[in-house]
Amino acid sequence: MSLAFALEKQVAISAVLRACSLTSAVFNKLVKNETLVKGDKSPVTGEHSTRVILASDTLPVADYSAQAVINVILAQAFPSDPIVGEEDSADLRNDADPTSATLRSRITELANEALALPLRDWEKAEWGIGPTHGQRTTFQLLDAIDRGNFSGARKGRMWTLDPIDGTKGFLRGEQYAVCLALIEDSEVKLGVMGCPNLPLKAGDEAGEKGCIFVAVKGQGSEQRPISSLQDATPIHIPTRPLSELRTLESVEAAHSSQSTTGRIAQALGITAAPVRMDSQAKYCSLARGDGDIYLRMPTGVGYVEKIWDHAGGSLLVTEAGGVVSDSRGQPLDFGLGRTLGENFGVIASGKDVHPSVLEAVRKARAEESQKL
């Protein structure tokens, strides 16, 4: 008897793998070039001017194309499943914007290149003959992007997709993640996160990079090297003494209050500097024990978290033996639409330390309100 969500897991890994290959290609072809052009301040003429048009639009190019690729693959395997995706194609259809036609043709080229990637041996072994992904026209790809327009629901089955989470990290050549999750009746059942820049072993910057993390509800969490997807290693959150714990937080100060996370760490007696990393790679690092406490504290501007930024990562952590809540200890509610509308920030850690972290959050908050 096959395990629950076996097909969904295979399809999601294949889709995320193809999107990772696309985002890595975009980075190598475009982002690096742009950095060079900007870095040496050389005059932007001739061939360079084309590059700059493409490169300065690298961010949407990679996000849109990756969303198109994943949505095409999901639509082929599960045609009636709705998708809550971060991107939509409205800007790409705007012909008043002179860059939109250039973007469309670039997206078409990149997405079709990724869809044409041959099946890996692992995929053939799992699927037999396996699916082939035919080439798509530009407008088919724009429609595929817009399959991500579902508004979310409390009941029923849906996917949620962040084609590039940590876009700022992606552009810096640091951490980012391609994140896909399946939600049923507001509960995350499957999470697949591709982290092309994450070393297989924590801190081993000189070693191999590129991991896919997979979690299935009730079946645990695992890590696979992008280079050999058949090698799944189960991952668990280790137990460490409080004095040895490290916090994980966003690189971007605008995404999480670093003064509040500093106070929380202090209240816990943590002396090590926080590990700052973009994207859901933080959840992945926590799930395999590279860091211990993920703190995402609201900055006070009224930002509401999006479901695609947390669905896969939160399942990965809970299946690795951890607990994920918001900053008040409430569970994350994935049934309210495209956002975590009732939640404030995120706190994730091993089971044992989670109550102490919530207590430290209360203490930090009390200190902050006294200062006001």
Q: Is 278 marked as binding a ligand?
A: no
CA distances 257 to 200, 236, 280, Å, are: 29, 28, 17
Question: One of 57, 58, 63, 146 is an active-site residue; which one?
Answer: 63
**For ligand A3P, which residue of 57, 123, 278, 290 counts as binding (CB under 6 A)?**
278
**CA separation for the pair 107, 319 (Å, rounded):** 35
Residue 86 vs 126, nearer CB to ligand A3P: 86
| Interaction partner, residue 322 (ligand A3P, Mg ion, none; CB < 5-8 Å by kind) | none
Give residues 84-123 in contact with ligand A3P (rule: CB under 6 A). Answer: 86
Identity of the residue, 57 or 309, whose beta carbon is nearer to Mg ion in the bound complex: 309
Instruction: Determine the angle formed by the axes of helices 354-371 and 258-268, rounding to 10 degrees.
Output: 120
> Which residues on adjacent β-strands are paired with residue 213?
193, 223
d(CA 15, CA 192): 10
Interaction mask 144-173, Mg ion, x per CB under 5 A: ------------------x-xx--------
Q: What is the DSSP string of 139-172?
A: HHHHHHHHTTB----SSSEEEEEEEEE-HHHHHH
CA–CA gap between residue 277 and residue 297 (Å, rounded): 15
Q: Distance between CA atoms of 229 and 226, rounded to whole angstroms? A: 6
The DSSP code for 99 is H
Using CB under 6 A, which residues numbered 234 to 263 contact ligand A3P?
250, 252, 254-255
Residues numbered 163-222 forming contacts with ligand A3P, rule: CB under 6 A = 164-167
Instruction: Assess whether 233 carries a catalytic annotation.
Output: no
**In angstroms, what CA-CA distances link 215 with 82, 98, 189, 235, 239?**
20, 42, 8, 10, 20
The verdict on whether residue 47 carries a ligand-binding annotation is: no
CB 82 to ligand A3P: min, Å: 20
Instruction: Determine contact, residues 252/285, Cβ cutoff 8 Å.
Output: no
Of residues 280 through 319, those in contact with ligand A3P by CB under 6 A are 299, 301, 303, 306, 309
Q: Which of ligand A3P, Mg ion, none sits in contact with 34, Cβ below 5 to 8 A by type? A: none
CB of 230 vs ligand A3P, minimal distance in Å: 29
CB of 164 to ligand A3P, least distance (A): 6
Among 8, 309, 319, 326, binds Mg ion (CB under 5 A): 309
Q: Is residue 167 flagged as an active site residue?
A: yes
User: Hey, which residues between 190 and 249 contact Mg ion (CB under 5 A)?
Assistant: none
Per CB under 5 A, does 278 bind Mg ion?
A: no
**CA separation, residue 87 to residues 118, 165, 311 (Å):** 26, 11, 16
Question: What are the angstrom distances between the C-alpha of 196 and each of 164, 178, 179, 239?
Answer: 11, 9, 12, 27
Query: Among 139, 170, 142, which Cα is nearest to 20's?
Result: 170
In the bound state with ligand A3P, the residue whose beta carbon lies nearer, of 126 and 309, is: 309
Residue nearest to ligand A3P (CB): 250
The DSSP call for residue 28 is I
Q: Record the tokens describing residue 367, joined without a space.
A: 């200190």
Compare residues 37 and 347 and give the one whose CB is closer to ligand A3P. Answer: 347
CA gap 290, 203 in Å, rounded = 8
Angstrom distance (rounded) from CA 69 to CA 18? 7
* Residue 255 interacts with which of ligand A3P, Mg ion, none, CB < 5 to 8 Å by class: ligand A3P
- The catalytic residue among 23, 58, 108, 167 is 167
Residue 326 in marked binding region: no
- Minimum distance from CB of 86 to Mg ion (Å)? 5
> Which stretches of the chain bind ligand A3P, using CB under 6 A?
86, 162, 164-167, 250, 252, 254-255, 278-279, 299, 301, 303, 306, 309
Interface ranges with Mg ion (CB under 5 A): 86, 162, 164-165, 309
Q: Which residues are annotated as a binding site for Mg(2+)?
A: 86, 162, 164-165, 309
Active site residues: 63, 167
